[in-house]
Amino acid sequence: MAQIKTTGMYKSFPRSGSDTKTSHYCAGCGHGIVHKLIAEALFDLELQDETIIFNPVGCSVFGYYYLDAGHISAAHGRSPSAATGIARTLKDRTIICYQGDGDLGAIGLNSTLQAANRGEHIAVIFINNATYGMTGGQMAPTTLAGMKTRTTPFGRDPLTDGYPLHVCEMINELKAPVYIERVSVADTRRIMKARKAVRKALKIQKENRGYAFVEIIAPCPIGLKSTPLETARFCMEEMEAEFPLVCLRDNSADQPLLPTPKKIVSVKDFFENSGTDLGISTAVPDESFKELRMKFSGYGGQGVLSLGLWLAEAARIDRRFTTWFPSYGPEQRGGAASCAVVVSGRTVGSPDADHPDLLVAMNQVAYERFIGDVLPGGFAFVDLTVPINVEPRAGVRLISVPALKLAEEFGITQSANTVILAAISAFGVSNLSRESLLSSLDAGFRKKPELAIKNKKLFVKAETWIKDQWKSSEVRECESAEIAASEDTAHGTGRGIC
């Protein structure tokens, strides 16, 4: 004995603690009919186990209660974008975007058109009921001219509210889609055509042929404040006058176009050096290592971000835990730039350095902004060109380095950051080995080995120069420290001019 019955749906729809075989759709709703068509097609084409359905924001958000397949809920209107990701990573899956006119035609129109234009391998089922059903019958993009809705109580006036949006026709302007058809579920004849269209769209997905778009005019009796039969009549007469039922395109018989396979780049290759090639892969926990938080600041182009990277690289070579956290504006050059580097003997919590132990300020703006944050006992390396018009907190040692000048004298004008690196090494304030600091330049100039050699030379020269200069100013340093100590501070404010 044969039976005509629903297939491809769950046996019951448990929801909010109740077990029911009834859908949540209103009497006469088009969603229920379309759900049955999709479920039947998935069952007949044996696609249930490989199908992922994107449910929209709208009444049919609960599609996952009914259709026995995989489900994902994307943000409002973003199903095509999320589906793009899934379709591209899981190429053997069948992806269905089930969307309403508010979801697809209003908030998600951009995502829809872009996905269609790229010819993503998804089947879009677009439910057009000319209104926002779930929220109470407001005007949708597809609302007919003159049609009364909750937000157009005097009828939609195209001059102020726009004309009904013909999404099928818009998509038909694009080259990539394979199949575009508008159908209806208002009466039996139309339902059977819709059934065919849904099956074709899913078959296109099964055969990996490309983008399929099926617009289904569906009655929403409650949203239109009418009876089910009257709404079905409205769909057939008034809706179809505006949205004719047509198959705009069907290239499903053509050979599908496949893109040229792209070269897959591994993560290791992408980052060029994952650390494993140096025999160093992991940091070693060391509770005795004092965590150091550093801030490097200046304007974009001075190399402060690179300087931070070198410190992080040196920490990596020393097998410390480290983070590098940049902060900069939209400008490639010339804007304020800074980065925070944390070096630790255990896993780093916050990568930021609101109160650094070590500050590098390459210009006045950066100095004024960050100097107050440096903790007592900390160091501040400032370029000599920066006027010291703000005093640091008591206990902070301020060291002015003529970094820009030295770099120019040594013939690499852009390498002021290397001079600062040398100063950090000369003062031994980073708790990192000199060798690591020096060899971090190799990693920093990996793509330009000749610059690495030049900068390493500069590093050595600058370091020697700074050490010599520092010796001569040692006395002054001690004096400052004594003065500060007499002012009830633990460490004193030292300022050495090298």
- Which residues would be at the binding site for other proteins (CB under 8 A)? 1-6, 9, 21-23, 25-33, 35-37, 39, 66, 187-188, 191-192, 195, 221, 227-229, 232
Structure tokens at 491: 């460490």
Element (H, E) at 109: helix 109-118
CA–CA dist 462, 24 (Å, integer)? 76
Q: Which is nearer to other proteins, 227 or 273 (CB)?
A: 227
| Minimum CB distance to other proteins, residue 140 (Å) | 20
Q: Which is nearer to other proteins, 105 or 221 (CB)?
A: 221
| Minimum CB distance to other proteins, residue 100 (Å) | 15
164 and 242 Cβ atoms separated by less than 8 Å: yes
| Minimum CB distance to other proteins, residue 200 (Å) | 17
Q: Which is nearer to other proteins, 234 or 324 (CB)?
A: 234
Measured in whole angstroms, how far is the alpha carbon of residue 61 from the centre of its chain? 24
Burial bucket for residue 284 (CB in 10 Å: 0-12, 13-18, 19+): exposed
298 and 304 Cβ atoms separated by less than 8 Å: yes
| Minimum CB distance to other proteins, residue 142 (Å) | 20
Q: Which is nearer to other proteins, 228 or 351 (CB)?
A: 228
Q: Which is nearer to other proteins, 108 or 221 (CB)?
A: 221
Give residue 156's identity as a one-letter amino acid code. R
| Minimum CB distance to other proteins, residue 135 (Å) | 20
Q: Which is nearer to other proteins, 230 or 373 (CB)?
A: 230
CA–CA dist 35, 7 (Å, integer)? 10
CA–CA dist 316, 360 (Å, integer)? 20
| Minimum CB distance to other proteins, residue 51 (Å) | 17
User: Read out DSSP for 253-282?
Assistant: TSPPP-PPPPPPPPHHHHTS--SGGGT--S
Burial bucket for residue 47 (CB in 10 Å: 0-12, 13-18, 19+): buried
420 and 384 Cβ atoms separated by less than 8 Å: no
187 and 232 Cβ atoms separated by less than 8 Å: yes
| Minimum CB distance to other proteins, residue 132 (Å) | 19
Q: Which is nearer to other proteins, 178 or 236 (CB)?
A: 236
